[in-house]
Chains A and B, each alone.
Chain A
């Protein structure tokens, strides 16, 4: 294996992962709104049409229910579709197909029909796109048995999760945070295998655990840096797979630090952060040195103006303050 390092963006990572998948298996095809001629609304599938042709890079009409349903049908029929839903808000139009068909078919048919479908969805806020284009519904989807939920938060994961998802015989939803697209990082030239069964410690620490995923990971890492300067050693756990949750890794970091801050871009009530917090209190109550703290999006439709949008979303400052407070460094949050 070559250890050559190259720099690329999250967007290029996604692109390379997809391109490799399309090259590797003729059964794989991509469909979604504007994935072809337009090159993908986030330019992820740019130049794919020329390389793979219109049969395997399919522009669909604005019919989320039909093209997600068709993805399910195609998967049942032996193809290996990757469906792109431009943004998570549009996925609501396909919710029936995702839940009532993709997630249910295997069990409902007594184990006869599995649905090996990959759905890629742009998620998250931060680009002043206002109330209908800024959701984070991945925690919602993580509520549903029968599907796997991935949230790549690094360039390497963005690149490698497609291949990993294609090894799954079940429906896999990949939530790609739109604020990460231009993030750059150094990665190995030849993509290593990405193991989607486990969460990953992105930074070791002793005093407290910042548990997060997706678009909030860079914020957590930045907060950890700042905390370090105040003498607080924060461990950062990237969940990576939101369903099924890697319980063991969550418990392990809490066992180690005894303190937890969960950062989740979803709305707080009934969120993924609620679930993680509940699991910690169920399984690690006795080692907790302080109550779990949750930093989530304020419970409001995301507003358009930048200052209000920023105020609504989890911020680095909130994370730092929470960390200091947990360590008794007298900060009000």
Chain B
């Protein structure tokens, strides 16, 4: 694809995630959305850059800061909003909320709120695919905080040992909740850690969607060709607080401002303007379009019904003889 065309597409997608999450924050303040709400503002380039490298039959496993991943993967916007409203129209029928977005048609396996909990699931999905001789990729998003969990090391080891098609996607935003990486990990060279398991690994600028896309494509191709797992570290930054109720005592305003200068949207906007394919008017129009799309999603969520209480016990266990597997 022509880079400019691709760039415009990426810009729109990142903008959609940004505005969607900002709208979610607003709705949280209005108590429409409850529970925990973790926003990925600042990290949009990773979700948007990685997804084009994945095919429909690939699987995606994510953690709890996953709105961007779900949107970029194509989970319908209105079903994500309705999920956060806890409504029946939600992608998990309102049972999961912000942290547990699931969508079978997109092979989007959530949505795990236990740090590192999705890693072995992705490894197992890859195992099943490999045993069926399928050339698919099992992609797993997690933060650098997960790399202090034992299950990260167990999963890396298993994936490497069995040469499983797992694409490990580490979004290194520098903070495990409020603990900075240098206060958490004895060695902060994440690529080196992955390589110690014999897993191919690279570090990518997670604020530049075009390099994310380029590198992710290569990495996914590598995994798809049966070479084994691949680890990508995306250097990025979360512009907003960890969750809604976080006074951000652990970092300085200056640090946030420095990173905001590298805003992935701003970065791409400048690039597109230099190429002459994008103007402020285009941007305003795009914002309008995206906002209407989001407002439609909010309307859908508002209007969607609540799951009936009689259905509370449904889906605790699936009845026998009704497995699609």
The interface size bin for chain A is: 35 or more
Q: CB-CB contacts of B221-234 with A at 8 A, as 1s and 0s?
A: 00000000000000
Report how far A101 CA is from B96 CA in the complex, Å: 13
The listed residue (A67, A78, A100) touching B117 by CB distance below 8 A is A100
State the Cβ distance, B236 to closest chain A Cβ, in Å: 26
With A100-B117, A101-B112, A109-B102 as contacts: A169 and B123 at CB distance below 8 Å: no
Q: Which of A69-77, A154-162, A205-213 contacts B (4 or more CB under 8 A)?
A: A69-77
Chain B interface residue count, CB cutoff 8 Å, equals 53
Q: Which of chain A's residues have a CB closer than 8 A to the CB of B154?
A: 61, 63, 65-67
Q: Which of B124-132, B265-273, B293-301 contacts A (4 or more CB under 8 A)?
A: B124-132
Q: Which of chain B's residues have a CB closer than 8 A to the CB of A112?
A: 92, 102-104
With A69-B124, A73-B127, A96-B117 as contacts: A110 and B102 at CB distance below 8 Å: yes
With A69-B120, A107-B315, A145-B316 as contacts: A79 and B323 at CB distance below 8 Å: no
Q: Which of chain A's residues have a CB closer than 8 A to the CB of B322?
A: 169
Q: Is the CB of B110 within 8 A of A109?
A: yes
**A16 interface residue per 8 A CB criterion:** no
Q: CB-CB contacts of A156-172 with B at 8 A, as 1s and 0s?
A: 00000000000111100
In chain B, positions 72-129 with a C-beta closer than 8 Å to chain A are 90-96, 100, 102-104, 109-114, 117, 119-129
Which of B158, B161, B322 has the most C-beta atoms of chain A within 10 angstroms of its own C-beta?
B158
With A60-B158, A69-B120, A101-B121 as contacts: A111 and B127 at CB distance below 8 Å: no
With A69-B123, A77-B125, A112-B104 as contacts: A106 and B315 at CB distance below 8 Å: yes
**B151 interface residue per 8 A CB criterion:** yes
State the Cβ distance, B142 to closest chain A Cβ, in Å: 13
Which of A77, A96, A169 has the most C-beta atoms of chain B within 10 angstroms of its own C-beta?
A77
State the Cβ distance, A247 to closest chain B Cβ, in Å: 16
Q: Is the CB of B320 within 8 A of A68?
A: no
Q: CB-CB contacts of A16-55 with B at 8 A, as 1s and 0s?
A: 0000000000000100000000000000000000000001
Q: Is the CB of A75 within 8 A of B316?
A: no
State the Cβ distance, A36 to closest chain B Cβ, in Å: 13
**B247 interface residue per 8 A CB criterion:** no
Report how far A294 CA is from B69 CA in the complex, Å: 52
Report how far A169 CA is from B315 CA in the complex, Å: 11
Q: Is the CB of B104 within 8 A of A113?
A: yes
Q: Is the CB of A66 within 8 A of B151?
A: yes
Report how far A79 CA is from B126 CA in the complex, Å: 11
**A114 interface residue per 8 A CB criterion:** yes
With A65-B154, A73-B124 as contacts: A110 and B92 at CB distance below 8 Å: yes
Which of B126, B127, B319, B323 has the most C-beta atoms of chain A within 10 angstroms of its own C-beta?
B127
Which of A58, A63, A68 has the most C-beta atoms of chain B within 10 angstroms of its own C-beta?
A63
State the Cβ distance, A116 to closest chain B Cβ, in Å: 5
List the B residue with the shortest CB-CB distance to A31.
B127
With A75-B124, A107-B316 as contacts: A113 and B109 at CB distance below 8 Å: yes
List the A residue with the shortest CB-CB distance to B123.
A70
Q: Is the CB of B120 within 8 A of A97?
A: yes
With A109-B102, A114-B325, A145-B316 as contacts: A77 and B157 at CB distance below 8 Å: no
List the B residue with the shortest CB-CB distance to A96.
B114
Report how far A69 CA is from B95 CA in the complex, Å: 22
Report how far A114 CA is from B121 CA in the complex, Å: 13
With A72-B121, A108-B96 as contacts: A116 and B325 at CB distance below 8 Å: yes
**B59 interface residue per 8 A CB criterion:** yes
Q: Which of chain B's residues have a CB closer than 8 A to the CB of A113?
A: 102, 104, 109
Q: Which of chain A's residues have a CB closer than 8 A to the CB of B94?
A: 110
Q: Is the CB of B131 within 8 A of A114?
A: no
Q: Is the CB of A63 within 8 A of B157?
A: yes
Report how far A109 CA is from B103 CA in the complex, Å: 8
**B173 interface residue per 8 A CB criterion:** no
Q: Which of chain A's residues have a CB closer than 8 A to the CB of B132?
A: 78-79
**A135 interface residue per 8 A CB criterion:** no
State the Cβ distance, A113 to closest chain B Cβ, in Å: 6
**A146 interface residue per 8 A CB criterion:** yes
Q: Which of chain B's residues have a CB closer than 8 A to the CB of A66?
A: 119-120, 123, 151, 154-155, 157-158
Q: A73-B120, A111-B314 are in contact. List 7 more A-B contacts (CB 8 A).
A: A65-B151, A66-B158, A70-B158, A71-B124, A100-B113, A110-B92, A169-B321
Interface residues of A (CB under 8 A from B): 29, 55, 58, 60-61, 63, 65-81, 96-97, 100-101, 105-114, 116, 145-146, 148, 167-170
